[in-house]
Amino acid sequence: MSISDIEKLISLLADFGLGMLVGGGIIFLFIKFLIPSYLTEKAKNLATKEDIADITDKVESVKTDYAKILEEIRNNYQLKFAAIEREKNTKKEVYLEAVEAIVRSQNMITNFCNLNMLEQEITSCISNDAGKIARVQVVGESETVKAVTSFMAAVGTATLDLMLERSELMLRKNEIQIIENLRTRSQQEIDQYIALMKNLNLEGNSDLRLRETINNCFNYEQEQVTKYNLELDQLWLVQNSKHMEFTKHCMDTFFNVSSLLPSTVLSIRSELDLDIAPEDYISIFNENLEKGKEVFDDFINKVANKNA
């Protein structure tokens, strides 16, 4: 209904008198001001409820999406954390075995001065432990790999040098063994000739040629024993001196190679988060190393004084 229609309505009502005119005015005011205002407010309220519902749906959707994202992040974190823990446990297992193998390789150097051990026995630990040490190449970081490689290279170089020097001692040792066996056999022959002479005496055998033959053989074997003793004395004199020098060389090599160990241990401890101040560890290590040198030097001096 337009304004002109309403005015026509009021004009019509005026024909019916004043009372009708007043009533018409009220109706006009109601239609012009109250109804539009009511409809406008009603529309606003309806729009507001719809907006709120839409906003609520969006908020809930965002919350749901956020929860999914948060759960995914949590799962990814747990997977990454589990992977890190597995890697650390794997490293720990590898490094503990590797350090034990490295120490055995280090101690192997001192065994070279034991001439009663075969070279295969001495170097067997390197063959047996090579795989354990090689695993460091797979799981180790660059600093650890470099430290282990440098240490094992030093062990390898020392092994070759000591094996070459030891070969001279082993050849002399074998020569001594051969001569001692010959001396033992000559001594056994002497004992047999003495027994024959006793039997001849008991039997009253006076065969001079037989007695002379036995006596000549006895004298020969006696001369052989004397010769073997002289040779052995000379060989042992050289062997003991060279063996002492070689023992010193072995121990000096051991201490030199040992000085490379701290960098390996510190690098491994760092990867395993086993914190220790490097200067503290090196101080402890060097202190024990110096004590070892003092003990060995004291032992060498006691042996030298005893043989003087």
User: Measured between alpha carbons, how far is 25 from 120 in angstroms, rounded to an integer?
Assistant: 127
Q: How many H-runs (helices) and E-runs (strands) does the chain carry?
A: 9, 0
CA gap 211, 306 in Å, rounded: 47
Q: Is the pLDDT of residue 218 over 70?
A: yes
Please report, in angstroms and rounded to a whole number, the separation of the first and last CA atoms in the chain.
140
The pLDDT, as a whole number, for residue 90 is: 83
Out of 171-185, 195-209, 224-238, which region has the weakest mean confidence (pLDDT)? 195-209
Helix (H) or strand (E) holding 12: helix 3-14
The model's confidence at residue 14, banded by pLDDT at 50, 70 and 90, is: very low
Higher pLDDT among residues 129 and 188, named by residue: 188
Q: Which residue has the higher pLDDT, 34 or 224?
A: 224
- Going from N- to C-terminal start, the domains of the chain cover 3-74, 141-307
Q: What is the pLDDT of residue 45?
A: 58
Query: Do residues 91 and 81 make contact, with C-beta atoms less than 8 angstroms apart?
Result: no
- C-alpha distances (whole Å) from 118 to each of 83, 135, 162, 178 are 46, 28, 13, 17
Mean pLDDT of the 172-195 span:
96
Position with higher pLDDT, 244 vs 119? 244
Q: What's the pLDDT at 20? A: 46
304: pLDDT confidence band, cut at 50, 70 and 90?
confident
- Tell me the pLDDT tens digit for each residue of 195-205: 999 998 888 88
Locus of tokens 């990867």: 271
- Which value, to the nearest 10 degrees, does the dihedral of the CA atoms of residues 6, 12, 15, 21 take? -20
Closest CA to 239 of 159, 145, 176: 176
pLDDT, tens digit, 9 for 90 and up, residues 38-79: 555 555 555 565 556 666 666 666 667 656 666 666 666 565
> Which pLDDT does position 129 carry in this prediction?
86
The predicted pLDDT at position 123 comes to: 82
pLDDT of residue 81: 55
